[in-house]
Amino acid sequence: MPFFKTVEKLIVNYGNFFTEGVRNTLIISASAVLIGTVLGALMALARMSQIHPLRWLATAYIEFFRGTPLMVQLMFIFYGLPMIGVTFPEVSFIPDFSRFMAGIVAMSLNSCAYVAEVIRSGIQAVDSGQMEAARCLGLSKKQGMTMVVLPQAIRNILPALGNEFVTVIKESSVVSVIGIADLMYRTNGVKAKTYNTLECLFVAAIIYFIMTFIFSKLVAYTERRMAHGRRA
């Protein structure tokens, strides 16, 4: 069929464009999930804090970032921050470093809100008796949280964190609107060169599917291993 012949031709002639887009997409997604997980853990602890102002601030942050579109957040960070004098540095040996940083920051802050809720639910899913047992053994509340509760919570939330990574891979396509050469941006470039709109989008969709399918299977494998460990 002509459609699939065109798709094959696009992959052969512009494979390097798509490869670069995949690399940048994975860099942004991995960075966003890593930073979002660290910030999300702190945000989850803040939301469960007994300090009311801290808990209110954490709740407001989570509700705001979960309740507004990622596109809007990205625009505010990329275009809004420079208007108040906050700019991202340029690095000579990394092209468009400031754009990459804006994309990573926006996606990290967005991911943080979702990860915070995942971690909070994971901690609350651990039986309260675990903390009481830790306190009876002479551990402080902080020690009980880090040495007893958190290790059990991590086992509960790892599959959800893996799913968050899969979600971020798909949502990272929005960074193309600020000129980051991710997969969607490179796809648009190939479309402009060849005028094969549908075929280019088909290639991009297949690549996104392959990436998310692989990571989904890794998440499922990890979940099975963890379930086997609990039974053992």
Closest to 68 in 3D by CA, of 100, 110, 127: 110
Q: What is the pLDDT of residue 228?
A: 63
Structure tokens at 180: 């980051």
Residue-by-residue DSSP string for 27-90: HHHHHHHHHHHHHHHHHHHHHT-S-HHHHHHHHHHHHHHHHS-HHHHHHIIIIIHHHTT--PPP
Q: Give the C-alpha separation, 41 to 36, whole Å.
A: 8
In this prediction, residue 186 carries a pLDDT of: 93
Q: Which pLDDT does position 126 carry in this prediction? A: 78
Half-sphere exposure of 211 (CA within 13 A, CB side): 26
The predicted pLDDT at position 144 comes to 78
Contacts of 203 (CB under 8 A, 6+ apart): 7, 10, 11, 18, 187, 190
**β partners of residue 91:** 94
| pLDDT the model gives residue 203 | 95
Q: What number of residues does the chain have?
A: 232
Has domain 2-231 been given CATH number 2.40.420.20?
Answer: no
What was the pLDDT predicted at 125? Answer: 78
pLDDT for the residue numbered 61 = 95
CA neighbor of 204 nearest in space, from 170, 164, 163? 170
* One pLDDT digit (tens) per residue for the chain, 232 residues: 788 899 999 999 999 999 999 999 999 999 999 999 999 989 998 998 888 999 999 999 999 999 999 999 999 999 988 888 888 777 765 677 888 899 999 999 999 999 999 988 888 877 777 777 877 877 777 777 777 777 777 777 887 888 888 899 999 999 999 888 899 999 999 999 999 999 999 999 999 999 999 988 888 887 777 666 555 5
- Residue 226 CA to residue 218 CA, distance in Å, equals 12
pTM given for the model: 0.85
What is the Cβ-side half-sphere exposure of residue 125, based on CA atoms within 13 angstroms? 14
Alpha carbon dihedral 39, 44, 47, 48, in 10-degree steps, equals: -140
The separation between the first and the last C-alpha atoms of the chain, rounded to the nearest angstrom, is 53
Q: How far is CA 160 from the centre of its chain?
A: 11
pLDDT score of 146: 75
And the tokens for 232? 């053992």
Helix (H) or strand (E) holding 190: helix 183-194
Domain positions in the chain: 2-231
